[in-house]
Homo-oligomer: A and B are copies of this chain.
Amino acid sequence: MNSGRLDIIGLGPGPQEWLTLETPQILAQASDLIGYGPYLDRLPLGAGQTRHASDNGAEIPRARHGLELAAKGAHVAVVSGGDPGVFAMAAAVFEALEHGEAKWRDIEIAVHPGVSAMLAAAARLGAPLGHDFCVLSLSDNLKPWGLIETRLRAAAAGDFVIAIYNPASKARPALIHDAFALLRELKPPETIVGFARAVGRKDEKLTLTTLSEANPALADMSTLVLIGAHATRGFEARGRRWIYTPRGSEAR
Mask: chain A, 210-252; 1 = CB below 8 Å from B; 0 = not: 0000000000000000000000010111100010111111111
- Interface status of A206 (Cβ within 8 A of chain B): no
Which one, B136, B151, B244, B249, contacts A141 given CB within 8 A? B249
* Alpha-carbon gap, A127 to B156, bound state (A): 26
Q: Is A40 an interface residue (CB 8 A)?
A: no
A115 at the interface (CB under 8 A from B): yes
- Cross-interface CB contact of A59 among B122, B126, B249, cutoff 8 Å: B249
Determine if A132 and B130 form an interchain contact, defined as CB atoms under 8 angstroms apart. no
Cα A153 to Cα B74 with chains together (Å): 46
Tell me whether B20 and A247 are in contact (CB under 8 A): no
Task: Jot down 19 A-B pairs with beta carbons below 8 A, ordered by A.
Answer: A18-B113, A59-B251, A86-B119, A91-B247, A92-B247, A93-B127, A94-B126, A95-B246, A97-B235, A97-B242, A98-B233, A105-B237, A109-B242, A113-B120, A114-B119, A132-B137, A132-B151, A135-B135, A151-B159
Q: What residues on B are CB-neighbors of A107 within 8 Å?
A: 237-238
CB distance from A51 to the nearest CB of B (A): 20
- Within A87-129, which residues are at the interface with B (CB < 8 Å)? 87-88, 90-95, 97-98, 104-109, 111-116, 119-120, 122-124, 126-129
Report yes or no: A60 in contact with B132, Cβ–Cβ below 8 A: no
The size bracket of the interface on A is 35 or more
Q: Which residues of A contact B (CB under 8 A)?
A: 12, 16-22, 57-61, 83-88, 90-95, 97-98, 104-109, 111-116, 119-120, 122-124, 126-137, 140-143, 150-151, 153-155, 157-160, 233, 235-238, 242, 244-252
Q: Is the CB of B94 within 8 A of A127?
A: yes
Distance A47 CA – B94 CA, assembled complex (angstroms): 47
Q: When the two chains form the complex, which single residue of B137, B250, B251 contacts A131, counting CB atoms closer than 8 Å?
A: B137
From B20, B108, B109, B134, A19 is in contact (CB under 8 Å) with B20
